[in-house]
């Protein structure tokens, strides 16, 4: 089952590509440097600007779905069996532009044009999934794309007209949105088999390396055993590929777990929602079960990263990456989530507060374990998440906090759990603050005292996102804010 040097087989626009691809090649490098499609741009190489956005299409059960992806963060070997639409693939000819391209020009929404290809591909994916988006949905679809010239005003106006235009032509949405070659592409890709293992060694042994795409947990554990001390698990890859691009850190072996179907589930079990190890944020955002049982997760995901990142980044990856300011880690800690850490031989349960040990150090034995499941208890009482960051949107938190409080019938605090991010080396519970609150009847003095206790509980650092003093104030004020929201 383990074959070496396999070709990757996919379609770019209307061109079938069968190629041996080096594992350290990103999709952006492939399409620009090897396929000569230079419309997609590299601007930040870390998923913050959207200039490299492409539409990545594949069969999802019985529907062919396109998602906006930052091509700079997607290892090109993952394109197997997929359809990539780049900006070059939309217009039939110079005289027959895609309607979105036409509207961008009519609204003068193009200035220097460097962001334009990515912007158009984000718009395409937005409308392909949701032909008549609301104002908020347009914003969510475009928030991952930066423009330094236009001030966005004309782009939004063009997008609004696109929505009107599509809604006025409901009977021919597909003809309007999709290039005419897609039907044939979809047919062709029905027959592409899942990729077997891809394993390619680059010419320069100094820069590695092998890339594996196991389809089952069993295959994955075999690979883990074979490559002990050398492998790195890649899931969404939105953090790992940033370190590849920016710090030139090349793991010797990538084991990509994104295609293991055993890890892709969201289900309810014992008063908890259980989420599989390669479930993406986008899946969580769309899952009915989450909407019913833990709606805060969805509210929070919409404030996290961008559509391109949410489409591919995973919950387990966000936890394992162990950033002290990871929004999701903070939310889950506040909700009392547990993890299943699975190795070939066994599985163990770890509560999230015992998962984080130090800065970027966790209980996960990265030499043999993965996070296979995340169990999130169905919360009761009042809960609220607060996030403070420089830009307020599509930004990494300076500090964040999750608050869960249950009052008894007399208004006395029965249960209280508060988690903070960005105030210590890892996401952490404000234990002294919650201990203080338990059994108290709430009034202004109690709230202020609780805020003070929380502030004294931590000694946050100063860094580029904020000073010690500012973070300390945020701790205090987040507590006050949670209570203020509770009253509303």
Least distance in angstroms from the C-beta of 271 to other proteins:
33
DSSP annotation of 462? P
DSSP-H helix ranges across 276-375: 281-286, 288-293, 295-301, 307-310, 315-320, 327-335
CB of 148 or CB of 438, closer to other proteins = 148
The reply to whether 199 sits near other proteins by the rule CB under 8 A is no
- Of 345-353, 372-380, 390-398, 405-413, the window that binds other proteins (rule: CB under 8 A) is 390-398
The reply to whether 110 sits near other proteins by the rule CB under 8 A is yes
Least distance in angstroms from the C-beta of 247 to other proteins:
10
The reply to whether 437 sits near other proteins by the rule CB under 8 A is no
**Cα(329)–Cα(337) distance, rounded to whole angstroms?**
9
**Cα(383)–Cα(483) distance, rounded to whole angstroms?**
10
For residue 268, the Cα-to-chain-centroid distance in whole angstroms is 22
- Of 4-12, 223-231, 318-326, 461-469, the window that binds other proteins (rule: CB under 8 A) is 461-469
The reply to whether 318 sits near other proteins by the rule CB under 8 A is no
Among 148, 357, 414, 441, binds other proteins (CB under 8 A): 148
Among 139, 154, 163, smallest CA distance to 109 is for 154
The reply to whether 466 sits near other proteins by the rule CB under 8 A is yes
Among 76, 65, 177, 73, smallest CA distance to 120 is for 177
Among 17, 104, 273, 290, binds other proteins (CB under 8 A): 104
Least distance in angstroms from the C-beta of 488 to other proteins:
11
Among 2, 16, 34, 151, binds other proteins (CB under 8 A): 151
CB atoms within 10 A of CB 372: 20
CB of 38 or CB of 380, closer to other proteins = 38
Least distance in angstroms from the C-beta of 49 to other proteins:
6
C-beta separation of 406 from 415 below 8 A: yes
C-beta separation of 26 from 241 below 8 A: yes
Helix, strand or coil, per DSSP, at residue 474: helix
The reply to whether 461 sits near other proteins by the rule CB under 8 A is no
The reply to whether 323 sits near other proteins by the rule CB under 8 A is no
Site for other proteins in 157-176 (CB under 8 A): 157, 161
**Cα(100)–Cα(32) distance, rounded to whole angstroms?**
23
- Give me the sign of the Cα torsion angle 426, 427, 432, 435: negative
Least distance in angstroms from the C-beta of 46 to other proteins:
6
CB of 4 or CB of 467, closer to other proteins = 467
CB of 76 or CB of 376, closer to other proteins = 76
Least distance in angstroms from the C-beta of 470 to other proteins:
4
Q: Where is 164: in which H helix or E strand? A: helix 153-168
The reply to whether 338 sits near other proteins by the rule CB under 8 A is no
Count of residues interacting with other proteins (CB under 8 A): 81
Least distance in angstroms from the C-beta of 210 to other proteins:
18
**Cα(148)–Cα(150) distance, rounded to whole angstroms?**
6
CB of 126 or CB of 260, closer to other proteins = 126
- Of 274-282, 341-349, 360-368, 389-397, the window that binds other proteins (rule: CB under 8 A) is 389-397
Site for other proteins in 41-60 (CB under 8 A): 41, 43-46, 48-49, 51
The reply to whether 80 sits near other proteins by the rule CB under 8 A is no
Least distance in angstroms from the C-beta of 334 to other proteins:
18
Least distance in angstroms from the C-beta of 477 to other proteins:
4
Site for other proteins in 4-43 (CB under 8 A): 36-41, 43
- Of 227-235, 308-316, 381-389, 433-441, the window that binds other proteins (rule: CB under 8 A) is 381-389
The reply to whether 205 sits near other proteins by the rule CB under 8 A is no
The answer to whether the peptide bond before residue 209 is cis (omega within 30 degrees of 0) is yes
Sequence-separated (6 or more) residues with CB below 8 Å from residue 146: 43, 48, 49, 50, 51, 115
- CA triplet 25, 28, 32: central angle to 5 degrees? 105
The reply to whether 388 sits near other proteins by the rule CB under 8 A is yes
C-beta separation of 231 from 253 below 8 A: yes
- Of 371-379, 402-410, 418-426, 465-473, the window that binds other proteins (rule: CB under 8 A) is 465-473
The reply to whether 308 sits near other proteins by the rule CB under 8 A is no
CB of 186 or CB of 470, closer to other proteins = 470
C-beta separation of 39 from 24 below 8 A: no
DSSP-H helix ranges across 373-467: 431-437, 444-457
Among 396, 418, 424, 454, binds other proteins (CB under 8 A): 396
C-beta separation of 39 from 170 below 8 A: no
**Cα(40)–Cα(26) distance, rounded to whole angstroms?**
13
Among 60, 106, 180, 225, binds other proteins (CB under 8 A): 106
Paired tokens of 134: 């609301």
Using CB atoms within 10 Å of the CB of residue 345, give its burial: 0 to 12 exposed, 13 to 18 middle, 19+ buried.
Answer: exposed
């Amino acid at each position: 089952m383990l074959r070496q040097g396999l070709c990757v087989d996919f379609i770019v626009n209307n061109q079938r590509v069968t190629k041996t691809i080096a594992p350290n090649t990103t999709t952006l490098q492939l399409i620009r440097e090897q396929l000569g499609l230079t419309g997609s741009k590299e601007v930040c190489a870390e998923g913050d600007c959207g200039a490299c956005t492409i539409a990545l299409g594949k069969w999802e059960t019985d529907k062919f779905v396109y998602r906006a992806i930052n091509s700079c963060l997607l290892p090109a070997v993952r394109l197997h069996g997929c359809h990539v639409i780049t900006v070059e693939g939309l217009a039939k000819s110079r005289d027959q532009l895609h309607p979105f391209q036409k509207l961008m020009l009519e609204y003068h929404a193009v200035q220097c044009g460097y962001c334009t290809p990515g912007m158009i591909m984000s718009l395409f994916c937005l409308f392909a999934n949701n032909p008549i988006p609301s104002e908020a949905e347009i914003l969510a679809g475009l928030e991952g794309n930066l423009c330094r010239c236009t001030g966005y005003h004309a782009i939004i106006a063009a997008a609004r007209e696109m929505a009107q235009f599509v809604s006025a032509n409901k009977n021919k949405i597909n003809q309007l949105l999709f290039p005419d070659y897609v039907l044939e592409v979809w047919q062709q890709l029905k027959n592409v088999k899942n990729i077997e293992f891809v394993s390619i060694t680059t010419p320069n042994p100094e820069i590695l390396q092998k890339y594996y795409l196991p389809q089952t947990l069993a295959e994955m554990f075999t690979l883990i055993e074979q490559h002990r001390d050398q492998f790195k698990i890649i899931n969404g890859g939105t953090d790992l590929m940033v370190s590849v691009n920016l710090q030139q850190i090349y793991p010797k072996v990538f084991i990509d777990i994104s295609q293991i179907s055993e890890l892709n589930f969201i289900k309810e079990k014992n008063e908890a929602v259980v989420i599989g190890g390669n479930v993406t944020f986008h899946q969580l955002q769309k899952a009915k079960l989450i909407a019913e049982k833990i709606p805060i997760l969805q509210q929070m995901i919409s404030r996290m990263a961008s559509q391109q990142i949410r489409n591919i980044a995973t919950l387990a990856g966000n936890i394992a990456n162990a950033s002290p300011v990871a929004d999701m880690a903070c939310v889950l800690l506040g909700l009392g989530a547990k993890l299943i850490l699975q190795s070939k031989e066994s599985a163990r349960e770890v509560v999230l507060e015992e998962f984080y040990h130090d800065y970027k150090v966790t209980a996960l034995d990265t030499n043999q374990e993965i996070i296979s499941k995340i169990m999130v208890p169905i919360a009761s009482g009042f809960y609220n998440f607060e996030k403070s960051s420089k830009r307020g949107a599509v930004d990494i938190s300076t500090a964040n906090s999750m608050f869960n409080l249950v009052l008894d019938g007399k208004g006395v605090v029965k249960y209280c759990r508060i988690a903070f991010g960005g105030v210590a080396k890892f996401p952490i519970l404000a234990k002294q603050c919650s201990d203080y609150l338990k059994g108290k009847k709430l009034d202004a003095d109690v709230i202020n005292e609780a805020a003070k206790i929380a502030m004294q509980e931590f000694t946050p650092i100063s860094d580029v996102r904020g000073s010690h003093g500012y973070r300390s104030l945020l701790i205090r004020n987040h507590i006050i804010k949670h209570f203020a929201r509770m009253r509303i």
